[in-house]
Amino acid sequence: MHTSPGSEDITEALAERVRAGGPLRLEGGGTRAFYGRKVEGRALSLAAHRGVVDYDPSELVITARAGTPVSEIEALLAGENQMLAFEPPVFGAAGTLGGAVATGLSGPRRPFAGPLRDFVLGARLMNPQGEVLRFGGTVFKNVAGFDAFRLMAGSLGGFGPILEVSLRVTPRPRAERALVFETPGEAARTWVSGLMGRPLPLSGAFHDGARLHLRLSGGEAGVAASRAELGGEDEPLETWDAIRHMTHPVFEAPVLWRVSLPPTGSAEGFETTAWDWAGGQRWLTADAVDPTVWDRAGRLGGHATLFRGQAPKGEVFQPLAPGVFNLHRRVKAALDPAGIFNPGAMYEGL
Domain spans of the chain? 11-171+327-335, 175-253+255-308
- Reported as a single tens digit per residue, the pLDDT across 290-303 is 999 999 999 999 99
Distance CA 267, CA 110 (A): 20
* CATH classification (class only), 11-171+327-335: alpha beta
> What is the amino acid identity at position 274?
A
Quickly state the pLDDT bin for 3 (edges 50, 70, 90). low
Say how many C-beta atoms besides its own lie within 10 A of residue 190's C-beta: 12
Q: Are 72 and 94 in contact (CB under 8 A)?
A: no
pLDDT given at position 4: 54
144 pLDDT band (50/70/90 cuts)? very low
Ordered alpha helix ranges (H), 79-219: 97-103, 110-113, 148-151, 185-196
Cα 209 to the chain's mean position, in Å? Answer: 23
Are the C-beta atoms of 269 and 244 separated by less than 8 Å?
no
| Confidence tier at 235 by pLDDT (50, 70, 90) | very high
